[in-house]
Structure 1
Amino acid sequence: MNKKTQVSIIVPTKNEEGNILRCIRSIRQQKFDGTLEIILVDNNSEDKTVEIAKKLVDKIIIAGPERSTQRNVGAKSAHGDWLLFLDADMELSRNVIEECLSLTKNRIVTPIITITEQGKGATFWGKALALERNCYQYTFWLQAARFFPKKFFLKVGGYDVNLVAGEDWDITERFRNEGLPNLYTKHSYLTHHEPQTSLFELLKKEMLYIKHIDKYAKKHPLSFSYQGSLLYRMFLWTRHWGELLRHPILTTAFFSYKLLVWFMWQWHRRKFETRNVNN
């Protein structure tokens, strides 16, 4: 009897009671020839995340302080031949794992897989950011891989725990540097549910990201010259001009939002450079 391929799905969480049930249900609905393991790695949630998940997952681990550590802890405890990393605000279409596994078959070199993402928002700003996210499908620089062979994941050392931002881009690039091809799903996707928060809260999160992205930028300067470029993103937007014109208000909103974030980044960078000069 042939061994069934086992896939371990690792979900790091922190106060995700509003998202986790939807995420797990989409995992349980996967149809493929193999076995499935769900590992939830929770960073001391203060809400009902663990209570909701405990009857629906195979293992719950308490670990932190950041996503990279949570993911690595989950990977080390996983029994699967393949690892899929999801965030709690993500939802899989029914055949994601089946397509990912099919992409790995009959390959001379084992690949890593980027699952095509589509954004979905429930609020005005959520819809605006979802529209932007959908402009980045199948882009080499901006969409990170999520499906990895476990033995190679452990070989490259997993996610870089020194990175709080850009850690998903980083591990994708390290796999590519090891010679593993990066393939993309074409018939299945994951839905990324945008946060249902105010503009102020969104900008607070962006500022936190900006403060931590420097480490990634120094580690991968060439990649970040694209990933952090407003002009590059504007080029990607123009490829979807038809869809953007159908939603002029949302388009104007996310244009303005990205411009504001860019100014925040420039201000932070100049402040950082000035501080270094003075020191």
Structure 2
Amino acid sequence: MKYSIIIPTLNEEKLLPNLLNQLKQVKESGEFEIEIVISDGGSIDGTLLLAVNRADKIIGREINTKNSISSGRNNGARVSSGEILVFVNADILFEDIFRFFRFLDESFRDSENIAMTTKVKIFPEEEILTDKIFHGFYNYYFFLLNKLSYGMGRGECQVVKREFFEMVNGYNPELIAGEDFDLFKRLKRKGKILFELSLTVYESPRRFRKYGYSAITLEWLKNALAIIVRNRSISKVWEQVR
């Protein structure tokens, strides 16, 4: 199987190289067939310069389109060629990237699984007690949601079979926030979604440090309810934190 790693970017020169270095190791190993797709939303720092020799494809934002992470992911998917789409944020790192892809090989080849997500934690060197409590709770809460009627997975890492991604028309480009929940909610109606507790991706704590967990939890809740009830997000702007 071929994997397309789709990374939406916007001024990510600080953290993107770490992820690209992990993906480079996978490509050089020859164990898996992967392509790296950078979908940029208009970076004005060195993001594109550092990506030009490391990504297989780079696509920019379309003129006269809403600049959202949903559109960025959709644009990346459109130019990709893999059977399995792996959407990750630019600030993440895999706990064990080879184990991640080996698990995908086992779980998506000739199986009924159509999508997958993983646990998300804060970078170990930056993690504090509040991070452990918050992410520990939400990882298991989202795991339970996938076992029940709702699909759920944070956009830090969402894996989808291409045919099903296209079947549901990808991410909703009108959503500024909650697009990850909305996608998995629609995919859940089409087949089985895995929430794999044995796999972890780490993320930067930058947004949590700036806004705090209470404000972010409230924002998540409002957007989730708005998507369920009215099929739209409450947030009108998603401020970048770098």
The residue number in structure 2 matching 1:53 is 51
Offset of residue 118 of structure 1? 2.2
Counterpart contact for 1:81–1:149, Cα < 8 Å: yes
Counterpart contact for 1:166–1:216, Cα < 8 Å: yes
Aligned with 2:10 (options 5, 9, 14)? 14
Query: How many equivalent residue pairs?
Result: 212
Judged with a 3 Å threshold, the aligned counterparts in structure 2 of structure 1 residues 76 and 185 are, in CA distance, closer, same or farther, namely same
Counterpart contact for 2:122–2:203, Cα < 8 Å: yes
Question: What is the identity percentage for the equivalent residue pairs of Structure 1 and Structure 2?
Answer: 22
For 1:149-205, what per-residue CA distance to the aligned partner results, in whole angstroms no more than 9, with x for missing partners? 111101100001111111101101100012x1111334432112221x795x325xx
The residue number in structure 2 matching 1:130 is 131
Offset of residue 105 of structure 1? 3.0
For 1:238-274, what per-residue CA distance to the aligned partner results, in whole angstroms no more than 9, with x for missing partners? xxxxxxxxxxxxxxxxxxxxxxxxxxx9xx9xxxxxx
Distance 2:161 2:139 in 1: 23
More strand by share: 2
The reply on whether 1:24 has 2:33 as its aligned counterpart is no
Structure whose CA Rg is larger: 1
For 1:110-162, what per-residue CA distance to the aligned partner results, in whole angstroms no more than 9, with x for missing partners? 42111222222655xx6355312133324234634611111110110000111
Aligned with 2:199 (options 185, 188, 197)? 188
Worse-superposed segment, 212-221 or 147-156: 212-221
In the alignment, structure 2 segments of 5+ residues that lack a partner are 146-151, 236-242
Quick one: higher RCO (CA 8 Å, sep 6+), 1 or 2? 2
The residue number in structure 2 matching 1:76 is 78
For 1:3-59, what per-residue CA distance to the aligned partner results, in whole angstroms no more than 9, with x for missing partners? xx1100000011111110011112223367431100001111121111111111111
Distance 1:54 1:76 in 2: 19
The residue number in structure 1 matching 2:169 is 157
In the alignment, structure 1 segments of 5+ residues that lack a partner are 222-264, 269-279
Offset of residue 72 of structure 1? 0.3
| RMSD across aligned positions (CA) | 3.0
The residue number in structure 2 matching 1:114 is 117
Distance 2:187 2:162 in 1: 12
Q: Name the aligned partner's letter for residue 165 of structure 1.
A: A
What TM-score comes out, normalization by structure 2 length?
0.76
More helix by share: 1
What TM-score comes out, normalization by structure 1 length?
0.67
